[in-house]
Amino acid sequence: MTQLPESKTEARLPSSRSPAAQLRRIGLIVLLAGFAIAGAIYALAPDGPSPEDNPSLTEFYDKQAVAVERMWGREGSLTLGITRSLKRASTYSAIVLVVSVLGSFVCFYLARDAYDGNKEEGARSE
């Protein structure tokens, strides 16, 4: 029975079990789940007319916008606009989509770094 050198006896993980492959799989799952959830939110949640478009409430929203801008300036107006846009389903679906794309990008980036690290280790051992 021949003995292999110590570096050869280390257990090598199959390619499907390597950390890089697992990170790629997680990234793909996050991306597909994000697309599915964003699509479901956009398709199922009603994205009707915004309350600002209601003619009976126009005066209220105008007074509210003026008061907010007077008290907090442009930052207050920006915050008011953001909070009003969060009442729409399309905004939520866009947020879910952006977060899933960023999450999958992080997974793919880490998988690339892990793969490059394994490649360098393999070159050193030879």
Among 21, 18, 23, 32, which Cα is nearest to 110's?
23
Exposure of 126 in the CB half-sphere (CA atoms within 13 A): 6
Contacts of residue 1, defined as CB under 8 A and 6 or more positions apart, other chains included, come to none
| In a domain? residue 5 | no
Distance CA(50)–CA(76), nearest Å, equals: 20
Q: Which residues of the chain have pLDDT under 70?
A: 1-16, 50-53, 114-126
Q: What is the pTM of this model?
A: 0.63
| In a domain? residue 11 | no
What is the predicted pLDDT for the residue at 86?
Answer: 82
What is the predicted pLDDT for the residue at 46?
Answer: 79
Show the domain range for 74.
Answer: 18-46+54-125
Task: For residue 109, give the 3-state DSSP assignment.
Answer: helix
What is the predicted pLDDT for the residue at 93?
Answer: 92
What is the predicted pLDDT for the residue at 100?
Answer: 97
| In a domain? residue 121 | yes
Q: How many folded domains does the chain comprise?
A: 1
4 burial type by CB count under 10 A (0-12 exposed, 13-18 middle, 19+ buried): exposed
> Do 9 and 104 form a contact (C-beta atoms < 8 A)?
no
